[in-house]
Amino acid sequence: MLNKTGLAVSPGIAIGKAVILDSEEYQIPKRSISPSLCDSEVQRAHHAFEMAIAELAALEAEYQASDSSEIHDLFSVHRHFLQDQSLRDRVTQRIHQDCVTAEYAASSVLQELHSHFAKVPNRYISERAADVRDIEKRLLRHLIDLKKETLGHLTEEMVVVARELRPTQTAAFDKQFVKGIVCDTGGVTSHASIVARAMGIPAVMALHDLTETVRRGDMLIVDGNSGTVIVNPSAETIARFRETQAAMVALQASFSVLKEQPAMTQDGVDISLMANIEFPRESGAVLDAGAQGIGLFRTEFLYLQSGKEPTEEDHYTAYVQVVKTLNGRPVTIRTMDLGADKFTQSHRFTREDNPFLGLRSIRFSLMHRDMFVAQLRAILRASTQGPVKLMFPLISGVREIQLAREILASVKADLDRTGQGYDTDMPVGIMIEVPSAAVMAACFARYVDFFSIGSNDLTQYALAVDRGNAQVADLFSSFDPGVLRLIQMTVDGAATTGIDVSVCGEMASEPAFVMLLLGMGVRSLSVVPSLIPEVKRIIRSVSMAQCRDLVETVFLMDSVSEIDEYVQQKIRSVSLQKLGDM
Ligand code: PEP
Ligand code: MG
């Protein structure tokens, strides 16, 4: 039994066998084959060896010419390794002896070598383990390019173990079989984590080297509440976690009493509690959770889920489905936030050294006007079916608001020409996620109808901490006094023209932040549907006077740890005091 601790990013407990998903989406299941197929599998294996050797020889030649002799030598070592006849013989033998596929044989032989190297007490030799892993991946790429395996083949409940997860991969998981997610990299607000939460799959990220220790088929417990992963637990531990799982289901059921109750503080201040969704199919859960509407519909998943760009009709169908299900409640549709960690297969993306600071989000939309127009037309057309609000992400300057609004105006004019209806009063807002926007909030408030604070990006850009990088995850904190001041500036800026301001980043769903946000003057929160009851419980437990006092004290503090500790302790005492009142 082995315990590992990472970041708890999606609550709940999952118990199941591990399925390893490497970063290139290849899963190597142990698949028995008929003995008559062994020869052709051996041929496939040999072909992959040849391809990998040729590829390495080409890389060697490329680096021969340059000054990078170390790189050249590395490729040369890898090539010699693959040319070693005894390695090839072991793979051939494995295929014949165990009647398994070429990829399984190659992967298992190389994994054995990897463990062997890793255990050698000589540092020089143990470091070669990483080379073996590299060689394994190269070989597998050639094999699996010929015969690709994905998680689409899962037929039993599993826990996905990955070195790295892209949001697209996560969104494609089948919830019926993927019961938990654990990952070496990632952070609480990385998009893969957001998707895991939206799908209600317990997940723990930033486990650093878990993939080095877990093998396919190992039993895992994923505790998405505490951030713990237990590898090959004892029967008693499994029984204990099953009990906790059942207790959590019961707690969730007890929240249902809150559904019909208003999100109102003890002293009668109404808070608008909205939901964030990524997929139209979540709209039902929004209503079940008792949300007043949708504060953030992340539309990127329309692009990421399929291999092709969505048409205007694809957009329209998705939006109308959500608007109709919400039945008169407002739906805030955010235009595409592509780029950074959300890429499509489209040729429109080129490699960037700093994609989070590059052609992302509204910048991408303004550069690809045809895609942007298709989305705007669909949003406008959907606004005839119910209250729709339009929101532009990642605004950093007034010029972007003006350009986006100009395009919107020309789309409206086109619809007018063809006699297609839309809500002429559709509110237009922006996300405040770049520090410059927070600082300029009082000015931006003259150009739009509402603000929504994207605290995930605002924190990332204010602190210069990549929200998905496990190595700096402990530096990512929205409790940072600088971040809190940017939020306060946004709220105050909005007040100068009286526009609404809400918070839709993950901060809004953390009980510890709820009191702070209310105290700073935020009156609307938008959170993942599953956390609405918990946030509502906190809102109903506090008074505005308590929240303002909290903010006053916190604004005198200098450090994240001091603020974090103080706010957590305050929220604990409020939660305990009021638990009995529910
Ligand atoms: C945010 O940045 O806080 C936000 C809500 O947008 P996203 O998480 O989709 O980047
Ligand atoms: Mg954002």
Q: What pLDDT does residue 275 have?
A: 97
Dump the DSSP string for 514-577.
Answer: HHHHHHTT--EEEE-GGGHHHHHHHHHH--HHHHHHHHHHHTT---HHHHHHHHHHHHHHHHHH
**Cα 62 from chain centroid (whole Å):** 37
**Same-domain status, 349 and 473:** yes
Closest residue CA from atom 9 of ligand 1: 298
Catalytic residue chosen out of the listed positions 78, 191, 315, 547:
191
| Ligand positioned closest to the Cα atom of 190 | 1
Q: Give the CATH number for residue 495.
A: 3.20.20.60
Residue keyed to tokens 């298992």 = 108
Q: Whose CA is nearest to atom 10 of ligand 1?
A: 457
What's the 317 CA to ligand 2 centre distance in angstroms?
A: 24
Q: Which amino acid is at 325?
A: T
Over the stretch 442-471, which tens digit does the pLDDT of each residue have? 999 999 999 999 999 999 999 999 998 888
Paired residues of 7 in beta bridges: 205
Q: Which atom of ligand 1 sits closest to the CA of residue 300? A: 9
287 CA to centre of ligand 2 in angstroms:
24
Identity of the residue numbered 47: H
Residue 443: the pLDDT is: 98
- Check residues 456 and 186 and name the one with the higher pLDDT: 456
- Convert 158-171 to b/e letters by CB count within 10 Å (16 or more is b): bbbbbbbbbbbbbb
The residue range of the domain holding 208 is: 2-23+153-253
Mean pLDDT of 119-133: 71
State the Cα–Cα distance between residues 274 and 333, nearest whole angstrom: 13
Is 289 inside any structural domain? yes
d(CA 501, CA 107): 53
456 Cα: distance to centroid of ligand 1 (angstroms): 5
pLDDT for the residue 27: 59
Q: Over the stretch 485-508, which tens digit does the pLDDT of each residue have? A: 999 999 999 999 999 999 999 999
Query: Which of 2-16, 118-132, 389-403, 517-531 shows the lowest per-residue confidence on average (mean pLDDT)?
Result: 118-132
Count of Cβ atoms closer than 10 Å to residue 199 Cβ:
21
Q: Beta strand pairing status for 178-183 and 272-277?
A: unpaired
DSSP assignment, residue 15?
E
- Are 231 and 357 contained in the same domain? no
pLDDT of residue 428: 98
* pLDDT reported for residue 582: 42
Angle at 424 between CA 418 and CA 429, to 5 degrees: 120
CATH code, domain carrying 242: 3.50.30.10
Q: How far, in Å, from the CA of 198 to the mean position of ligand 1?
A: 13
Q: What is the average pLDDT value for the chain, to the nearest integer?
A: 89
**Cβ(513)–Cβ(259) under 8 Å?**
no
The residue among 101 and 522 whose pLDDT is bigger is 522
Q: How far is the CA of 340 from the centre of ligand 2 (A)?
A: 10
Bridge partner residues of 32 (DSSP): 100
The pLDDT of residue 124: 66
| Pair (491, 569) in one structural domain | yes
* Residue 29 belongs to a domain: no
Going by C-alpha positions, the residue among 387, 554, 545 that lies closest to residue 480 is 554
Task: Please tell me the distance from the alpha carbon of residue 279 to that of residue 300, in angstroms, as a whole number.
Answer: 9
Q: What is the pLDDT of residues 210-236, one digit of tens each?
A: 888 888 889 999 999 999 999 999 999
Which of 103, 127, 144 marks a domain boundary? 144
Q: Are residue 309 and residue 427 in the same domain, yes or no? A: yes
453 and 526 in a single domain? The answer is: yes
455 lines ligand 1 (CB under 6 A): yes
Please give the C-alpha separations between residue 582 and each of 198, 258, 447, 578, in angstroms, as whole numbers. 26, 8, 42, 7
Looking at the structure, do residues 404 and 487 belong to the same domain, yes or no?
A: yes
State residue 69's pLDDT score.
65
- Give the ligand whose atoms come closest to the C-alpha of residue 459: 1
Query: Which ligand is nearest to the Cα of residue 506, counting in written order?
Result: 1
**Is the minimum distance from the CB of 337 to ligand 1 under 6 angstroms?**
yes
Nearest to 187, CA basis, from 431, 506, 510, 432: 506
The residue among 99, 119, 144 that closes a domain is 144
| Ligand 1 atom with minimal separation from the 452 CA | 5
The CA 454 to ligand 1 mean position distance, Å, reads 5
**Residue 298 beta carbon below 6 angstroms from any ligand 1 atom:** yes
How many domains is the chain built from?
3
CB within 8 A of 333, min separation 6: which ones? Answer: 297, 299, 319, 379, 382, 388, 389, 390, 391
Q: Which residue, by CA, sits nearest to atom 6 of ligand 1? A: 454
pLDDT of residue 142: 84
- What's the CA gap between 263 and 556, in Å, rounded? 29
How remote is the CA of residue 30 from the centroid of ligand 2, in Å?
40
Given a cut of 60, whether residue 24 has pLDDT beyond it is no
How many Å separate Cα 577 from the centre of its chain? 34
pLDDT band at 71 (very low <50, low <70, confident <90, very high): low
Is 41 within the bounds of a domain? yes
Atom 1 (ligand 1) nearest CA: 454
Is the pLDDT at 23 greater than 50? The verdict is no
Beta-bridge partners for 162: 21, 183
CB 368 within 8 A of CB 329: no
| pLDDT recorded at residue 163 | 86
The single-letter code of the amino acid at 329 is R
Looking at 226, 253, 280, which one is the last position of a domain? 253
Which of 41, 115, 110 shows the shortest CA–CA distance to 82? 110
Residue 580, pLDDT score: 41
Mean local confidence (pLDDT), 173-188: 90
Contact in structure between 324 and 287 (CB atoms under 8 Å): no
Q: Is 433 in the pocket of ligand 1 (CB under 6 A)?
A: yes
**CA dihedral in degrees (32, 145, 109, 120; nearest 10)?**
-150
Is 224 close to ligand 1, i.e. is its CB under 6 Å away?
A: no
Catalytic annotation on 504?
yes
E strand map for 119-168: 158-162
Distance of alpha carbon 275 from alpha carbon 255, whole angstroms: 16
Give first-to-last CA distance, the chain, whole Å.
39
Shared-domain flag, residues 330 and 185: no
The CA-CA-CA angle for residues 490, 492, 493, to 5°, reads 60
Who contacts 299 (Cβ-Cβ below 8 Å, separation ≥6)? 315, 318, 333, 334, 335, 336, 337, 375
Q: Is 456 in the pocket of ligand 1 (CB under 6 A)?
A: yes
Angle at 527 between CA 524 and CA 531, to 5 degrees: 120
Residue 581 DSSP code: T
The whole-number average pLDDT for the span 383-410 is 98
With a 6 A CB cut-off, is 454 part of the ligand 1 pocket? yes
Q: Which atom of ligand 1 is nearest to the CA of 504?
A: 5
Q: 227 and 124, same structural domain? A: no
Per-residue pLDDT tens for 237-269?
999 999 998 988 887 777 778 888 999 999 999
Helix ranges (H only) for 498-543 are 511-519, 532-541
- For ligand 1, atom 3, the nearest C-alpha belongs to 454
Q: What is the CATH number of the domain that holds 75?
A: 1.10.274.10
Q: What is the residue type of 333?
A: I
Residue 502 within a domain: yes
Q: Whose CA is nearest to atom 4 of ligand 1?
A: 454
Distance 458 CA to ligand 2 centre (A): 8
Task: State which ligand 1 atom lies nearest to the alpha carbon of 457.
Answer: 2
**pLDDT category of residue 116 using cuts at 50, 70 and 90:** confident
Tens digits of residue pLDDT in 314-331: 999 999 999 999 999 999
Query: Would you state the pLDDT for residue 60?
Result: 81
Query: To which H or E segment does residue 197 belong?
Result: helix 191-199
Q: Tell me the ligand closest to 334's alpha carbon.
A: 1
Q: In the predicted model, is pLDDT for residue 574 greater than 80?
A: no
The pLDDT of residue 212: 80
Active site residue 114: no
- Which residue in the list 38, 78, 114, 504 is annotated as catalytic? 504
Ligand 1 contact, 185 CB (< 6 A): no
341 lines ligand 1 (CB under 6 A): no
Mutate to test the pocket of ligand 1, among 170, 357, 457, 463 (most ligand atoms within 8 A of CB): 457
Three-class DSSP labels, 237-265:
HHHHHHHHHHHHHHHHHHHHHHCCCCCEC
Same domain, 244 and 294: no
Report whether residue 333 contacts ligand 1, using a CB cutoff of 6 Å.
no
> Which ligand neighbours the alpha carbon of 341 most closely?
1
- pLDDT for 135-177, tens place per residue? 887 888 788 754 444 566 677 889 999 988 877 678 778 888 9
Q: How far apart are CA 139 and CA 474, in angstroms?
A: 36
Establish if 263 belongs to a structural domain: no
Is 377 domain-assigned? yes
Q: Which of 124-133, 198-207, 549-558 has the lowest average pLDDT? A: 124-133
Distance CA 423, CA 321 (A): 17
Same domain assignment for residues 340 and 455: yes
112 & 180 share domain: no
How far is ligand 1, taken at its centre, from the CA of residue 239, in Å?
38
572: Cβ contacts below 8 Å, ≥ 6 apart = none
Residue 248 and residue 284 in one domain? no
Evaluate whether residue 64 is within a structural domain: yes
Instruction: Decide if 559 is inside a domain.
Output: yes
